[in-house]
Structure 1
Amino acid sequence: MNLRFASLFTLGVLSSFIFFIILLASYVAGFINGYFLIIATIVINIILWLVSPYVSTWIYKWLYKAKFYKVNELENKKFAAFLTKICQDNNLKVPLIGLIPDDNPTAFTFGSGAFNARVVVTEGLFKYLTQEEVEAVVAHEVGHIKHRDFIVMSIASTMLQILYELYFILVRSGSKNSSSKKSGNYLALIGIGAFVLYIVGQYVVLYLSRVREYYADEFAARYTKKPDVMSSALIKVAYGIMATEDDRKAKRLLESTKTLGVMDYKGAKDLSLIHATFKDRFELLEQALLFDIVSPWAKILELKSTHPLVGKRIKRLSSIARSINVSTIYDFEKIKRKKVDKAKLYHGFFRDVSIYFLPFLLSIVGVITPILLSLPWPTFIFGGIIGLGLGSLSKTMYAYPNTKATNETILSTMTDVYASPLRGRPVSYTGKVIGRGIPGFIFSEDMMFQDKTGLMFLNYESFIPFFGNLFFAWKRAKGLQNVPSKATGWFLRGATHHLELKELSTSTDRIKSSIKFWKMFGSILLLLIGTGGFFIFSSILVL
Structure 2
Amino acid sequence: MARLFFASLVTVGLLFSMVCGLILALLVLTDQVNLGFAIAITIVLNAIIWLVSPWISDLTLRWFNKLQFIDDAEVASRYPHIHQLIHDVAAEYRFKAPRIGLIPDRNPTAFTYGILRSNARIVVTDGIFEFLNADEQRAVVAHELGHIVHRDFIVMTAAGTLVQIMYQIYAAAMRSGRQGSSGNSKNKGGQALVGIGALIAYYVGIYLLYYLSRTREYLADAFSAERVEGRHLASALVKIAYGIVKAEDTDATQSLLQSTRHMGVVDVKNARYSGLEAENDLDDPERASEAMLFDAHNPWARLIELNSTHPLTGLRIAHLGDIARAKAQAFPDYDLKAAAQRVGLNKGALWSRFWFELAILLFPLALGILAAALQAWVLIPAAVAIGVLATLRLRYPRGASPATTVANLMTDPTVSPVVGRPAQLTGKAIGRANPGFIAGEDVIYQDRTGLVTADFRSMLGFIGNLFAGWKRVPKHIGQDGQLQGWFRRGMGGYVIMREMSSTAGTLRARPYFWQAFLSVAVIVATLFFYFASTQYTLDPEALRIDRTFGEGR
Given the two structures, how large is their TM-score scaled by the length of structure 1? 0.91
Specify which of 317, 334, 350 is matched with residue 338 of structure 2. 334
Aligned position for 1:413: 409
Aligned position for 2:134: 131
How do residues 373-412 of structure 1 correspond to structure 2 at under 5 angstroms?
380=377, 383-412=379-408
Q: Deviations over 1:251-281 (max 9, x none)?
A: 2222221111111111113211221222232
- Take 2:32 and 2:529, find their aligned partners in 1: how far apart are those partners? 50
- Take 2:198 and 2:246, find their aligned partners in 1: how far apart are those partners? 44
* Distance apart, 1:309 and its partner CA: 1.1
Distance 1:102 1:540, change over 3 A: farther
SS at structure 2 position matched to 1:490: strand
Distance 1:521 1:246, change over 3 A: farther
Q: Which moved more, 1:167-176 or 1:151-160?
A: 167-176
Specify which of 152, 165, 169 is matched with residue 172 of structure 2. 169
* Contact 1:107/1:261, CA 8 A, preserved across alignment: yes
- Take 2:106 and 2:371, find their aligned partners in 1: how far apart are those partners? 53
* Distance apart, 1:241 and its partner CA: 1.3
How do residues 218-233 of structure 1 correspond to structure 2 at under 5 angstroms?
218-224=222-228, 226-233=229-236
* Contact 1:245/1:441, CA 8 A, preserved across alignment: no
- Take 2:475 and 2:33, find their aligned partners in 1: how far apart are those partners? 67
Specify which of 271, 276, 279 is matched with residue 276 of structure 1. 279
Q: Deviations over 1:311-349 (max 9, x none)?
A: 111011112222233211133233344643344322221
Is 1:537 paired with 2:533? yes
Aligned position for 1:208: 212
Distance 1:128 1:477, change over 3 A: farther
SS at structure 2 position matched to 1:428: strand
Aligned position for 1:375: none
Is 1:76 paired with 2:78? yes
Q: Which amino acid aligns with 1:417?
A: P
Percent identity over the alignment is: 38
Q: Which moved more, 1:436-445 or 1:453-462?
A: 436-445
Q: Which amino acid aligns with 2:357?
A: D
Rg larger for: 2
* Distance apart, 1:476 and its partner CA: 4.3
* Distance apart, 1:238 and its partner CA: 0.9
Aligned position for 1:106: 109
SS at structure 1 position matched to 2:422: strand
- Take 2:514 and 2:304, find their aligned partners in 1: how far apart are those partners? 26
* Distance apart, 1:209 and its partner CA: 0.8
- Take 1:43 and 1:265, find their aligned partners in 2: how far apart are those partners? 31
* Distance apart, 1:171 and its partner CA: 3.0
Distance 1:322 1:346, change over 3 A: closer
- Take 1:243 and 1:495, find their aligned partners in 2: how far apart are those partners? 19
Distance 1:474 1:323, change over 3 A: same
* Distance apart, 1:34 and its partner CA: 1.4
* Distance apart, 1:458 and its partner CA: 0.7
* Contact 2:163/2:202, CA 8 A, preserved across alignment: yes
Q: Which amino acid aligns with 1:144?
A: H
- Take 1:170 and 1:481, find their aligned partners in 2: how far apart are those partners? 56
How do residues 297-336 of structure 1 correspond to structure 2 at under 5 angstroms?
297-329=300-332, 330-336=334-340
Is 1:194 paired with 2:198? yes
* Distance apart, 1:244 and its partner CA: 2.5
Specify which of 344, 352, 357 is matched with residue 352 of structure 1. 357
SS at structure 2 position matched to 1:407: coil
How do residues 2-81 of structure 1 correspond to structure 2 at under 5 angstroms?
2-29=3-30, 33-74=34-75, 76-78=78-80, 79-81=82-84
- Take 2:268 and 2:45, find their aligned partners in 1: how far apart are those partners? 31
Unpaired runs of 5+ residues, structure 1, are 373-379
- Take 2:103 and 2:523, find their aligned partners in 1: how far apart are those partners? 52
* Contact 1:114/1:146, CA 8 A, preserved across alignment: yes
* Contact 2:5/2:219, CA 8 A, preserved across alignment: no
Q: Which amino acid aligns with 1:206?
A: Y
Q: Deviations over 1:427-480 (max 9, x none)?
A: 111222222223454432211122222221111134544454344434443432
Q: Deviations over 1:64-110 (max 9, x none)?
A: 33233333355734344544444334433222223223222111111
* Contact 2:475/2:504, CA 8 A, preserved across alignment: no
* Distance apart, 1:308 and its partner CA: 0.8
SS at structure 2 position matched to 1:515: coil
Aligned position for 2:546: none
Distance 1:81 1:429, change over 3 A: same
Q: Which moved more, 1:130-139 or 1:259-268?
A: 130-139
Specify which of 223, 232, 236 is matched with residue 239 of structure 2. 236
Distance 1:478 1:170, change over 3 A: closer
* Distance apart, 1:519 and its partner CA: 3.1
* Contact 2:422/2:487, CA 8 A, preserved across alignment: yes
Distance 1:459 1:328, change over 3 A: same
Q: Deviations over 1:292-314 (max 9, x none)?
A: 12111011111121111111110
- Take 1:424 and 1:463, find their aligned partners in 2: how far apart are those partners? 18
Specify which of 474, 490, 493 is matched with residue 497 of structure 1. 493
- Take 1:328 and 1:368, find their aligned partners in 2: how far apart are those partners? 55
Q: Which moved more, 1:20-29 or 1:420-429?
A: 20-29
* Contact 1:245/1:439, CA 8 A, preserved across alignment: no
* Distance apart, 1:499 and its partner CA: 0.5
* Contact 1:431/1:449, CA 8 A, preserved across alignment: yes
| RMSD between superposed Cα atoms in Å | 2.4
